[in-house]
Amino acid sequence: MGDGTLWHSAFNTSAANAIYNRQDAIYIVADNKWTAMTGAHENPNVGKLMTGEDVGSDMSIENTFRGMGVKDVERVNPYDFKAFNEIMTRYRRDTKIPKVRVLISEAECQLQKQRRVKPEREKAIKAGERVEIDRLGVDAEVCVGDHACIRFNGCPSLTLKEGPNSLRTAPIAAIDTTCVGCGVCGEVTTAAQLCPSFFKVTKIENASWLEKIKASVSRLMVGRPAVRTPVTSKEAA
């Protein structure tokens, strides 16, 4: 359930019932600090009113669940697929005593984050500040076109294109310019040991003279504008 729905009604209609009846259940709370279904406004977990005023509230999902008697409450970054999967595996195996377990999947909504980050980044670039922009890509020579990456996470930046190898009839995966570099696609495929074709690149705006020299040497030696590094769970997180 989302954090907005949790505050709106689920604490008393769903969570309280499960805790009271000692259900063997895992609650996953998508804590992205917004209530999307009714206008993408703040909720009590944010600590701000819809007007933007800071109310200094100490209300939190974790404290509320613990106050209701839930002992197993953990937070995890959903972009860290490996850590998320490890907690879920441990929760599923812990079935000796029926009880409610809560996993708070905490990360800012990417849509809202980009609305905040993009203007800040553009302002910094215009001011001549050094800015790093992460992007994900798919190596066309490595991708075999099984499209598991698209089925597993459904990122809108993932699409298909014709591959460079005429012997492979299936179209290959590709990432378009809408990529925000969150790392979910590479994180899922790497952690699930599905595909080695994902890589991460970092674009540097207003680079230093030393970085420009290194990039020039790299282009001369490798023949590519940047060095590609495979995505690992640590990098994607």
> Within this chain, do residues 8 and 98 fall inside the same structural domain, yes or no?
yes
229 within domain boundaries: yes
145 in the same domain as 89 = no
Domain boundary among 73, 108, 143: 108
Asked if the structure places residue 116 within a domain, the reply is no
Q: Are 107 and 78 in contact (CB under 8 A)?
A: yes
**Can you give the residue range of the structural domain that contains 160?**
128-236
Per the domain annotation, does 119 fall within a domain?
Answer: no
Q: Are residues 8 and 104 in the same domain?
A: yes
Q: What pLDDT is recorded for position 124? A: 95
Q: Which of 196, 193, 183 is nearest to 234 (CA)?
A: 183
Same domain, yes or no: 139 and 45: no
Quick one: 69 and 101 in the same domain? yes
Closest by Cα among 194, 200, 196 to 236: 200
DSSP single-letter state for residue 144: -
Do 7 and 99 lie in one domain? The reply is: yes
Q: What is the pLDDT of residue 72?
A: 93
Q: Which residues of the chain have pLDDT under 70?
A: 37-40, 47, 50, 56-58, 188-194, 223-237
Q: What's the predicted TM-score (pTM) here?
A: 0.72
Closest C-alpha among 18, 41, 25 to residue 92: 25
**C-alpha 117, offset from chain centre:** 15
Does residue 58 sit within a domain? yes
Tens of pLDDT, residue by residue over 95-139, are 788 899 999 999 988 888 888 899 999 999 999 999 999 888 899
Q: Which pLDDT value is given to residue 13?
A: 87
CA distance readout (Å), 5 to 19, 43, 70, 144? 18, 9, 19, 41
Picking from 71, 157, 151, the residue whose alpha carbon sits closest to that of residue 110 is 157
Let me know: does 171 contact 163? Beta carbons within 8 Å. Answer: yes
In the numeric block, which tokens belong to residue 194? 């599905």
| Inter-CA distances, 178 with 110, 148, 159, Å | 12, 20, 11
Q: How far apart are CA 33 and CA 27, in angstroms?
A: 17
Under 8 Å between Cβ of 216 and 177:
no
Domain count for the chain = 2
Would you tell me the crossing angle of helices 184-191 and 81-93 to the nearest 10 degrees? 50
232 plus 133 within the same structural domain: yes
Given this model, what pLDDT does residue 57 score? 62
